[in-house]
Amino acid sequence: MAAAALILPAVPVTPPDYHRIISDRLRIPDDKSLPVPVGLLACQRQHSRDPLLREISTTVVSCNAHKKEQTQTSNKKKKSSATQEKLFEVILHDTVLFPEGGGQPSDIGLIRSASGEEYQVTEVKRRGGHAIHFVKPKHDQVVGLEVGSHVIAALGEDGYMRRLDHMCMHTSQHLLSALLETELNLPTLSWALTSYPTPSYVELTRSITLEEIAQIQAKAHRLAYEGRKVRVEVEPLDSENHPGVATLEGGRTVGKALPSDYTGGIKRTVIIDGVDKNPCCGTHLPSLHNLQLFILPQTESLARGNTNTSRLFFLCGPRLHAHLATSHALLTDVAGILSCGTPAVPARVSQVIEERRRVDKRAEELEFELARIVAEGLLGEMNNSGDPAFVKHYHRTDDSARALGFLQSIASAFITGSPAQAKYALVLTSSPVEKRSTSVTTVLALGSDDERTKTMGDALKTQLGVKGGGRGVRWSGKWIGVWREGKEGAIVEEILKTTQKTD
């Protein structure tokens, strides 16, 4: 028998009991000249069978130019950008665009007038109990958004993707915080829905172990496979049922209280069946099916005053997919560079680092040996010169990462090998192979006595513009630019000759 075709809906279906008004005293206002309060907005009700109601036909309740704060017009540049950013504040009877709240950022979207003109909604904010849409005008006007006009408020493609991400992360946070509380007795102090695609986090009173993370992760997966339902209950908000906020022994509050300026009069509770019951104004998935919550197996410790807290990071939905794609691409690139399969990457990287360490050690030993040979050459020159005060400029072209260290090694070997009564003044310079205006030449001056070194250092500063300083018989500095033997080299020779003459 042929397998029966399984017909799945294009998107998960929101069950009819997703949103429940559990009080006789509460009705969704149908007077189109008044706004539905925040707490009962269409984006918070999701009364359609689409879990993400993408648009709604509604009417304009008010439309006014947004008055910008004066502080932004202090200079000409800011003035022009302020003009570009002229916005209108629009209140609609109802909306699918969620105003920021409960840790969830604002939606973006559009408002379409009856004649088809589309205006971008850059942000939605709650003021008192109302959702204010910040609308970008066209030619400084919002034609068709007059009070009483019929309009469509829509998320649009970008707004839909942004909201889907926010919903996945917000429902994940509720589940994660509930499991931390029930399984580990760990309250969530706060949480942050960070900007896409970075992981969001919950802040906890202590760091947690990898075993504890694995335990929470396994429980979260089990609940997701079971497809636990998520639903919302709303009732009028009054003094008896006002959600309080717990305080820890140290005085730190757990979670966020209802904002004191909220005047919508609605108490909204988000319930994950058998797992969690939490006052929240955010938008949530209708079930844990395919929640894909992934907890990053690491915590970040934070020290705040005399309390230590930690952040536990998590990903879900579109953010998790982006993370997997980026991580996989990075790992594949690294494996390609190392010419190995991806599972062999850690071992291969360790091997490369170990090889590098050995090579560095050998290079250091060879440099030390070479420094001694160079110093011996300079000492031989000094001994053969017969000059009462030996002067010498030694220049090398070298791409060493530790040019000064190498010049210091030459200087040390020279000091060790020179007779006690010898008088000398040396300038050692090292330039990179590539000649650019930003190239750095390392300069080291070495004198047989402090005075001689100081004279050289001062002259290198004033006559050549070397930036540096020194103590005792050594003076070191840096010179930036293209080093030419005929010019900069000649100045050094001149400085050394003057040093010799003053003897």
Within 10 Å of residue 22's Cβ, how many Cβ atoms? 11
DSSP 196-261: TTSPEEEEESS---HHHHHHHHHHHHHHHHHT-BEEEEEEE--TTT-----B-TTS-B-S-PPPTT
The rounded distance, in Å, linking the Cα atoms of 482 and 432 is 9
Element holding 16 (H helix, E strand): none
Q: Of the two residues 281 and 413, which places its CB atom closer to Zn ion in the complex?
A: 281
Binds Zn ion (CB under 5 A): choice among 105, 144, 159, 282: 282
Region near Zn ion per CB under 5 A, out of 212-220, 273-281, 374-382, 397-405: 273-281
Q: Of the two residues 264 and 447, which places its CB atom closer to Zn ion in the complex?
A: 264
Beta-bridge partners for 236: 266
Q: Give yes or no for residue 99 binding Zn ion (CB under 5 A).
A: no
Q: Of the two residues 268 and 452, which places its CB atom closer to Zn ion in the complex?
A: 268
Q: Give yes or no for residue 101 binding Zn ion (CB under 5 A).
A: no
Q: Of the two residues 56 and 230, which places its CB atom closer to Zn ion in the complex?
A: 230
What single letter denotes the amino acid at residue 332?
Answer: T
Q: Of the two residues 97 and 492, which places its CB atom closer to Zn ion in the complex?
A: 97
The rounded distance, in Å, linking the Cα atoms of 397 and 489 is 13
Residue 469: partners with Cβ closer than 8 Å, 6 or more residues away: 457, 475, 476, 477
Is-contact 442 478, C-beta < 8 A? Answer: yes
- Minimum CB separation of residue 103 from Zn ion in Å reads 6
Q: Of the two residues 167 and 428, which places its CB atom closer to Zn ion in the complex?
A: 167
Closest to 35 in 3D by CA, of 56, 9, 13, 65: 56
Q: Give yes or no for residue 280 binding Zn ion (CB under 5 A).
A: yes
- Minimum CB separation of residue 125 from Zn ion in Å reads 18
Contact letters (x/-) for Zn ion, 388-427, by CB under 5 A? ----------------------------------------
- Minimum CB separation of residue 248 from Zn ion in Å reads 20
Q: Of the two residues 254 and 404, which places its CB atom closer to Zn ion in the complex?
A: 254
Region near Zn ion per CB under 5 A, out of 96-104, 146-154, 176-184, 319-327: 96-104
Q: Of the two residues 175 and 224, which places its CB atom closer to Zn ion in the complex?
A: 175
Beta-bridge partners for 65: 88
- Minimum CB separation of residue 356 from Zn ion in Å reads 48
Region near Zn ion per CB under 5 A, out of 98-106, 201-209, 256-264, 409-417: 98-106
Buried b (16+ CB within 10 A) or exposed e, 322-345: ebeeeeeeeeeeebeebeeeeeeb
- Minimum CB separation of residue 256 from Zn ion in Å reads 9
- Minimum CB separation of residue 233 from Zn ion in Å reads 14
- The CA-atom distances, in angstroms, between 131 and each of 32, 48, 134, 138 are 15, 20, 10, 22
Closest to 204 in 3D by CA, of 294, 320, 307, 101: 307
Helical spans, DSSP H, in 87-209: 156-184
Q: Give yes or no for residue 110 binding Zn ion (CB under 5 A).
A: no
| Residue number of the CB atom closest to Zn ion | 280
Q: Establish how many alpha carbons lie within 13 A of residue 48's alpha carbon, considering only the half-sphere containing its beta carbon.
A: 14
Q: Give yes or no for residue 105 binding Zn ion (CB under 5 A).
A: no
Closest to 479 in 3D by CA, of 470, 471, 375, 489: 489
Count helices and strands in the chain by DSSP H and E runs:
9, 19
- Minimum CB separation of residue 102 from Zn ion in Å reads 4
Q: Give yes or no for residue 102 binding Zn ion (CB under 5 A).
A: yes
- Minimum CB separation of residue 9 from Zn ion in Å reads 26
- Total residues contacting Zn ion (rule CB under 5 A)? 3
Region near Zn ion per CB under 5 A, out of 46-54, 235-243, 279-287, 291-299: 279-287
Binding site for Zn ion (CB under 5 A): 102, 280, 282
